[in-house]
Amino acid sequence: MSEKIIALRDTLAEICAHVEAYIDFPEDEIEVKSDRILLENLENIRTELKALLKTYDEARFFREGLSIAIVGRPNVGKSSLLNALLKKKSCNSSEIPGTTRDIIEEYLNIRGLPIRIMDTAGIRNVEDIAEKEGVKRSVESIENADLIIAIFDRSEPHHTEDIDVIEKIKNKNIIVIFNKCDLSPVIDKQFILSRLIPYTTKFLDISALRGDGIEELKDMIFESCLRDWKEGREGIVISNLRHKLAIEKACESIERSIQALIENLPLEILALEIRDAMDRLGEIVGIVTTDDILNKIFSEFCIGK
């Protein structure tokens, strides 16, 4: 990131050097860049700064963490999966389907990504008030989750409750898990996948009990949330609020310098705004703008010779 900021600041210094040389040494007949080229350069810098700002929002997952909801009908292995991800000995899993319990929330870290993972109480039609509350909370946690892990039991035919689950998670960021792959396969996978394929292409067989497929699942979780920011980003991410604010200020100065150029305001104003943008970027990489521009003027133009 420093390299990028330094390069942008350097380009600004060059533009500023041209403008200030023209202001300070008009008698030397310096060939000043045309307004059109200046404008183009400034607009390019503005675009690059805006792209950097965007990464701050997208890097939210690294700062605030990612929330994942594990959903599935009772007894498919939600608690077992949570425990496998946490590498805990199973403590919540129960053989009685629908055992009433609250949403269990745990924190883990996958490849440096902080994750809040919720094992939901299950989604189904229930009469019991306490269970109803649990189901309501499950639905809410699905709404708020960044990623849904939908679990199905591979060792049994699908239940109508599995269809309820599918209905609730459509249009979400989903990973489909077929659990209990240590047992003989029974479920009609195609039946499940054909209903979810418009929304996801990520599915995996695992055994939460034995730990099969857990590492692949972790990779899948990481990729499904960070796929977007990887593309076309040169790997640069702004994650620090102070940096973000400095870039915002630099962007505002560039914006004003563009306006100054368009409105044919005195070149001094243009130079002032560019210097301000340079100072803001300098704050990020620890460079103080003082002699940089003068150095550039003297190195690039034959002034006073």
Q: Counting contacts by CB under 6 A, is residue 93 touching ligand GDP?
A: yes
Give the one residue of 8, 71, 72, 276 binding ligand GDP; rule: CB under 6 A. Answer: 72
Residue among 124 and 180 whose Cβ is closer to ligand GDP: 180
For the packed helices 78-86 and 214-230, what is the interaxial angle rounded to 10 degrees?
80
Strands (E), the chain: 66-71, 104-110, 113-119, 147-153, 174-179, 203-205
Nearer to ligand GDP, 72 or 282 (CB): 72
Angular region, 264: left φ>0, alpha ψ -120 to 50, beta rest = left
* Pick 209 or 281: Cβ nearer ligand GDP: 209
Site string for ligand GDP, 194-233 (x = CB under 6 A): -------------xxx------------------------
Instruction: Give yes or no for a contact between 268 and 23, defined as CB atoms under 8 angstroms apart.
Output: yes
Which of 92, 240 has the CB closer to ligand GDP? 92
* Cα 153 from Cα 157, distance rounded (Å): 8
> Using the 8-state DSSP alphabet, how is residue 26 labeled?
G
Among 55, 79, 120, 141, binds ligand GDP (CB under 6 A): 79
Binders of ligand GDP in range 247-276 (CB under 6 A)? none
Residue 19 near ligand GDP by CB under 6 A: no
How big is the chain by its Cα radius of gyration, in Å?
28
Q: Which residues bind ligand GDP (CB under 6 A)?
A: 72, 74-80, 93-95, 179-180, 182-183, 207-209
